[in-house]
Structure formats: C-alpha cells, structure tokens
C-alpha cells in the first residue's frame, strides 16, 4: 500500500505562507496531478512530500507510515526533476546505479534492476553513454529510469516535460501514462500545463494562492468547476465570464448580460444578487436564426476540427463562441449566438459555484 | 571597415606586440643572467662588464652544489613539506568550502565573513604568533612545524565555495533523494564536477609552498631539516660569497617549480585567474 496523506500541513518562508493548512489524500496506485499557476505552491507541496522542504505544521503519511520527520531518502519516494538532475560525469548506467549503491544492494540486484528499467524504457543501448550524449527525450527517460530502479512506494514528478519540445512532450506524456499502467505505483505529477494535467491525471488538485481550489477527476473539474478561479484556469480558451444581476420575472429567474440580453436560469438560487455567470465557448454556438444575443465577429481562429469565433456584443464586451471546423464566418459578420442554458455556471460573490455551496 | 582603419589597427597591434616582447625580455633577462652566471667560472662572474655568453662554460658549481651540499636532503624536505601542505590545504579547504556552501549550521555566515576578513591579515603579521605557538608545541625543527602555519589559505576555501555554489541545486537534491550522505555527495557528485579546480589549486599551492622562504627560514635551524629555499643560503664557505655557486643552487631550487609550471601551464594560469578574481 502506498497511499499518501497530508493532514493540515503548512509551510512558511518567514512571514510568507506558501502552504496554508492543507489536507489531501492520494490513493494507492493513483496518478494525481498538482496543477496551478506559478507561485501557487504546487512544487513546494511536492517537495514537502519528498522531504526536500520541511513541513512546519501538520503530518505526512506515506503508506500509512508517518514520514514528516524522515529524511528524503528514507521516505521511499523517488523524484524526477524538471531539469532531470542527471550527474554529467556518470554514464546512464552509473546514474541509475547511484541510488542503489547508496543503499548497498548487491551487484546482482543492482544489475537486474537497471537492466529491467532500461528494457521498460527502451534505452538498453544508451546505458554506457553520458547525459551530454543524449537528446532531451532520452535524458528524460534516464531520469525516469533512475526513479524506477528504486522501486519506490511513490513517484514524484516535478514538471518533467517542461524542457521538451511540443511534439516530444505529447509522446512522452503518452509514455508516462503507459508507464503508470505498467508499474501501477502512486504518482504525483506537478505541472502548470492544463493539457498535461487533463490527459495524465486520474485526479487533479487545483492549487491557487497556497490553497486547494478543487480536487476531482479531469472531467469533474472541467464540467463542474468549484470556483471562479478553476472555471477560468481550466479550458482553452477560457470560460466566458460575465458579471450578471439575477432577477425574478414570472416564476423565472433571469440573468442580464452586460449587453442587456436576458437569459433564463434554471437554478435554485436567490434573486436580487450579483453573480458571475460562466459558460464555455463550446456551449455558445453560432445560430443561423435569431437566438439569445447578437454580436459582431472580431476574430476568427480556425483550428481545423472547430472554429473559435470572438464576438463583440452591443456593449463592447466579448464572448467566445464555437462553430464547426468548416465555418464560413468571417471577421465583420454579424452573428446570432445561442447559449446552452444547461451548461451555465453561476458563481457567488465569494467566487464559489452555486452548485457546490 | 575601410583600408585606413585596417592600417591603423595593424600599426597599433604591432606597437603592442613590440611592447609585449620588450616587457618579456625585461622580465626574462634576470633569469637568463642567473642561469648564464651559474655556468661561468667565479672570476668571470665578478667581471665589471656585461658578458651575455660565458668565455668558459662550466658545470663545476652545479657539481659542487650536488655533491658538497645537502641539496638532496633539502629537495626531499621541500617535496615532503610541499606535498604535505598541498594535500592538507586542499583537503581542508575542500571540506570547509563545501560546508560553507552547502550545509546549514549555526554561525555559517559569520564563519564565512571571518574567512573573508582573514584576507586582510598578511601572513607576515602572524609570523611571531606562529613562531611562539609552534615553539610552545615543540614543533620547531620538524616537518610538522614547517607545514602547519602554511595551511592557512582562505582563498582556496573561497574558490571551492564559489564552485560548489555553482553546482545546480538539483544534483544535491537528487543525491539526497537517493540516500547519499554528505561525504558521498561531496566525493561522488561535487568533486568530480570540480576536478579541474582541484588540480589547479593543488599545483598553485604546491608552487607557493615550494617557494615559501620566510616561515621555513624561521621554523628550522638544523641544516638537514631545511627546505631548498632556505638551504641555498647555506651554499657558501668561510672565504666569502660565491655568486656562481649560489646561483647554481638557486637554479636547482627553482628547476622543479619551473618544470611544474611548464607542464601544467594552463592549470596554473587558471588557478591564478580564479584566485585573482576572488581577491580582486
């Protein structure tokens, strides 16, 4: 069993709090992604689990064992660093053997583990090379191999793909996903890239300003963001957000968009208050006939399978809509927009999704 | 760039080259003069005019220095003390540099400032303290007495600290995650990344120690324990000064250092640049 549990952990640097009373449970064998913008505390949290940063308050359990006071090497976790941290003066084999020699495993055991890891990662022929003789992708594999040979309870990845080019990143992402299925170990993966988070993570922890905004599966987070921050952070392009007033009219709750458009809201929330209304671009469609609102096309982005249309409403506010890949819409067109009311999110003045209150 | 400018640059370049050659001759001439004089008979050396080449070439002074003095013993003393000073200085500086750069312990910063401040204290100022201390320890006229006060080289600690500071933090963290202790991190990760520095500072420390005169001169009074720099002062007799004889002993004393410099020229220059960068 290698579940990881953080109970009320905090971390400060002087007067600056970077992790504030955070609790989190990661299941055995789960691939959990920490996602957040720069400075959100995701890397610090990972380093606290690794033991590279001390935990000021709270507890950490790995496989049920209290670990917050243990040295990094005794926590039974392996870390893959952003810059790989391969020792340049050692060959690939020596890099992989280094940790095993430190714990004084037998030569035979070391040899077996290195050979096995090299086979899994398809780098048998690279074992006698030095890191400087490897490509970025190969170095990445060696860094992962160095972690695998330790057979740790959990793997910690600190933005491991950020130094790779776009094509290699996609390929390595798939390989990491396959690796997780092969080794079936608990993995924590830190990234600021939402695509990586959505494609790799079984669950995602969204961090912002030292706190957890939401924990959930990628689809839960996408379809039901708990906070305004999550709604804006997840999804590309971002969710359309408007500040609206809710009014009651003839048993119907109406939201008024900045351009005056009235939209019926089918939610059980009190009227007379101000909310932020969010709707994803794919829920705003170009309609051939008059629909919820009308605007002038300012920008068209053709992505092949779909077209993103940036529409300026009457009051000057902007709404991003989605049309088919074969869309004939061009800049300057006046278009009708139909909003899918079932996909509307309302956030209260504290930025909390009313469905999560 | 037009032809006029090219001409101007070439002219300036030629002037600089000439000035450099002149400076090199000026610098090298005393060495040439010393070597040539050591190959002249004594009466030619004291002639009142300059002779750039000896009338009679002789190796008798070298033969005298090698057979009639304890130069062999002095060589051994110099090699022993210089190797000891080099090994101990480099080892202790490496540990100190690593500790100051990588470890957290109370008063680390204060210790660093003390080491930096020690640059301002010339060795000569401490000579009397060293003498009293070594005398009280009963180490005068011993190799240990010659070696111990020469181990104070704050510049090497600072060089190591700077190099260890430059090693990416990830390497240390990866090693810590891999269960490596501090000694293993130092010797398996940090030192292999800094062998060039260690080689350079070792050569320079060896040369410094070999050339040291003032302290070995005070610490040793027995002829058989003298280092070569002190020993050459003994190459005289009751009938006065023999310049050629003393110069031949000086050439023999300087020969190993000159050889070391020629062999490891690049490393020595590198080390001097490193220490000059820190001192400056």
Higher model confidence: residue B278 or residue A187? A187
Q: Mean pLDDT throughout B252-257? A: 88
Question: How confident is residue B77, by pLDDT bands cut at 50, 70 and 90?
Answer: very high
Q: What is the pLDDT of residues B255-273, one digit of tens each?
A: 888 888 888 887 777 766 7
- CATH code: domain A4-232 is 3.40.50.300
Residue-level pLDDT at B279: 42
Q: Tens of pLDDT along B109-140?
A: 999 999 999 888 888 888 999 999 999 999 99
- Residue of A51, A88, A99 with shortest CB distance to B178: A99
What is the distance between the alpha carbons of residues A208 and A41, in angstroms, rounded to a whole number?
Answer: 7
Average pLDDT estimate for B167-178: 93
Q: Using the beta-carbon criterion (under 8 Å), do B179 and A87 form an inter-chain contact?
A: no
Pairwise pLDDT comparison (A182 vs B238), residue with the higher score: A182
CA distances from B22 to B25, B26, B34, B52 (A): 5, 6, 19, 17
pLDDT given for residue B280 in this prediction: 35
How far is the C-alpha of B149 from the C-alpha of B127, rounded, in Å? 9
From first to last of its 357 residues, chain A has per-residue pLDDT tens of 689 999 999 999 988 888 989 999 999 999 999 999 998 899 999 999 999 999 999 999 999 999 989 999 999 999 999 989 999 999 999 999 999 999 999 999 999 999 999 988 888 889 999 999 998 889 988 999 999 999 999 999 999 888 888 888 888 888 889 889 888 899 999 999 999 999 999 999 999 988 899 999 999 999 999 999 999 999 989 999 999 988 888 778 888 888 888 888 888 888 878 899 999 999 999 988 888 889 999 999 999 999 999 999 988 999 999 999 999 999 999 999 999 988 999 999 899 988 766
B184 at interface of A, judged by CB pairs closer than 8 A? yes
Tell the CATH superfamily of the B70-279 domain.
MetI-like (1.10.3720.10)
pLDDT (0 to 100) of residue A120: 86
Q: Identify which of B171, B173, B181 has the shortest CB distance to residue A52.
A: B173
Q: pTM for the whole thing?
A: 0.80
The Cα of A101 is separated from the nearest Cα of chain B by a number of Å equal to 9
CB proximity B188 to A under 8 Å: yes
Alpha-carbon gap, residue B16 to B18, rounded angstroms:
5
With 0-12 / 13-18 / 19 or more C-beta atoms within 10 angstroms meaning exposed / middle / buried, residue A233 is: buried
Would the CATH topology of A4-232 be identical to that of A233-356? no
**pLDDT over 80 at B235, yes or no:** no
As a whole number of angstroms, the distance between CA A333 and CA B260 comes to 82
CB–CB contact B178 A83 (8 Å)? no
* Domain boundary assignment for chain B: 3-60, 70-279
Best interface-test mutation with A: which of B168, B169, B177 has the largest number of A CBs within 10 A?
B177
- Name the one residue in this structure whose structure tokens are 């027995």: B222
* Mean pLDDT rounded to a whole number for chain B: 88
| Cα B127 → chain centroid | 18
Note the helical H segments in chain B: 3-38, 42-45, 60-68, 71-102, 108-117, 123-136, 143-147, 154-166, 169-177, 182-184, 191-193, 195-211, 214-219, 228-231, 243-263, 265-279
Q: Does B168 touch chain A (CB under 8 A)?
A: yes
For residue A99, the chain B residue with the least C-alpha distance is B178
Query: Which residues on adjacent β-strands are paired with residue B80?
Result: none
Q: Does B174 touch chain A (CB under 8 A)?
A: yes
Q: Name the CATH architecture for the domain at A233-356.
A: Beta Barrel (2.40)
B189 in contact with A, Cβ within 8 Å: yes
| Domains of chain A, residue spans | 4-232, 233-356
- CB nearest to A85's CB, from B170, B180, B188: B170
Q: Give residue B276's pLDDT band: very low, low, confident or very high (50, 70, 90).
A: low
- List, for residues B16-68, the tens digit of each pLDDT value: 999 999 999 999 999 999 999 999 998 888 888 888 888 888 999 999 888 88
Has residue B244 got a pLDDT over 70?
yes
Q: Minimal CA–CA distance to A294: which of A263, A331, A338?
A: A338
pLDDT of residue B237: 66
Strand order in the sheet with A57-62: A16-26, A4-13, A57-62, A65-66
Residue A349: C-alpha distances to residues A27, A73, A243 (Å): 34, 46, 10
Judge: B177–A77 Cβ closer than 8 Å, yes or no. yes
Query: Residue A87 is nearest to which of B173, B177, B189, comparing CB atoms?
Result: B189
By Cβ distance, the residue of B174, B175, B179 closest to A103 is B179
Is the pLDDT reported for residue B6 higher than 80?
Answer: no
């Amino acid at each position: 069993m290698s579940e990881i549990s953080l109970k009320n952990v905090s971390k400060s640097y002087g007067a600056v709090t970077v992790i504030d009373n955070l609790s989190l449970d990661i299941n055995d064998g789960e691939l959990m992604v920490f996602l957040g913008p720069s400075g959100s505390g995701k890397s610090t949290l990972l380093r606290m689990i690794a033991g590279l940063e001390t935990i000021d308050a709270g507890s950490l359990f790995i496989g049920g064992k209290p670990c917050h006071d243990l040295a990094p090497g005794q926590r039974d976790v392996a870390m893959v660093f952003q810059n790989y941290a391969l020792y340049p003066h050692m060959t690939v084999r020596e890099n992989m053997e280094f940790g095993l020699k430190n714990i004084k495993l037998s030569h035979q055991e070391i040899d077996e583990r290195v050979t096995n890891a090299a086979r899994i990662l398809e780098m048998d022929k690279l074992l006698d090379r030095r890191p400087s003789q490897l490509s970025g992708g190969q170095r990445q594999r060696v860094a992962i191999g160095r972690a695998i040979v330790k057979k740790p309870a959990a793997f910690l990845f600190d933005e491991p793909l950020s130094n790779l080019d776009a094509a290699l990143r996609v390929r390595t992402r798939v390989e990491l996903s396959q690796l997780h299925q092969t080794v079936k170990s608990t993995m924590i993966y830190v990234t600021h890239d939402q695509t990586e988070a959505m494609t790799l993570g079984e669950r995602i922890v969204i961090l912002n300003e030292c706190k957890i905004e939401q924990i959930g599966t990628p689809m839960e987070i996408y379809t039901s963001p708990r906070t305004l921050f999550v709604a804006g952070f997840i999804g590309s392009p971002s969710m359309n957000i408007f500040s609206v007033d809710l009014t009651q009219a003839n048993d119907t709750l109406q939201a008024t968009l900045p351009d005056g458009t009235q939209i019926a809201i089918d939610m059980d929330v009190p009227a007379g208050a101000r909310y932020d209304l969010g709707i994803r671009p794919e829920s705003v469609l170009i309609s051939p006939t008059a629909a919820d609102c009308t605007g002038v096309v300012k920008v068209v982005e053709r992505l092949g399978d779909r077209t993103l249309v940036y529409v300026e409403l009457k009051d000057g506010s902007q709404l991003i809509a989605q049309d088919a890949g074969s869309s004939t819409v061009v800049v300057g067109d006046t278009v009708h927009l139909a909003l899918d009311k079932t996909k509307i999110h309302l956030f209260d003045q504290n930025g909390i999704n009313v469905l999560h209150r | 760039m037009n032809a006029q400018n090219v001409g101007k640059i070439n002219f300036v370049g030629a002037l600089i080259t000439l000035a450099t050659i002149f400076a090199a001759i000026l610098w090298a001439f005393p060495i040439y003069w010393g070597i040539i004089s050591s190959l002249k008979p004594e009466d030619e050396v004291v002639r009142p005019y300059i002779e750039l080449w000896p009338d009679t070439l002789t190796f008798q002074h070298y033969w005298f220095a090698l057979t009639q003095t304890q130069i062999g013993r002095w060589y051994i003393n110099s090699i022993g003390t210089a190797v000891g000073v080099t090994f101990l200085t480099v080892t202790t500086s490496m540990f100190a540099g690593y500790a100051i750069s990588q470890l957290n312990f109370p008063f680390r910063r204060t210790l660093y400032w003390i080491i930096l401040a020690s640059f301002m204290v010339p060795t000569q100022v401490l000579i009397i303290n060293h003498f009293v201390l070594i005398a009280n320890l009963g180490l005068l006229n011993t190799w240990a007495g010659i070696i111990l006060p020469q181990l104070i080289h704050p510049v090497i600690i600072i060089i190591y600290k700077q190099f260890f500071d430059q090693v990416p933090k990830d390497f240390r963290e990866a090693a810590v995650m891999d269960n490596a202790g501090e000694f293993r991190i130092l010797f398996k990760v940090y030192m292999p990344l800094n062998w060039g520095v260690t080689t350079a500072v070792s050569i320079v420390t060896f040369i410094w120690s070999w050339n040291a005169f003032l302290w070995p001169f005070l610490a040793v009074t027995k002829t058989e324990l003298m280092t070569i720099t002190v020993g050459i002062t003994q190459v005289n007799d009751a009938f006065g000064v023999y310049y050629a004889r003393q110069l031949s002993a000086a050439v023999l004393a300087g020969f190993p250092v000159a050889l070391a410099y020629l062999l490891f020229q690049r490393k020595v220059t590198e080390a001097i640049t490193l220490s000059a960068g820190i001192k400056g």
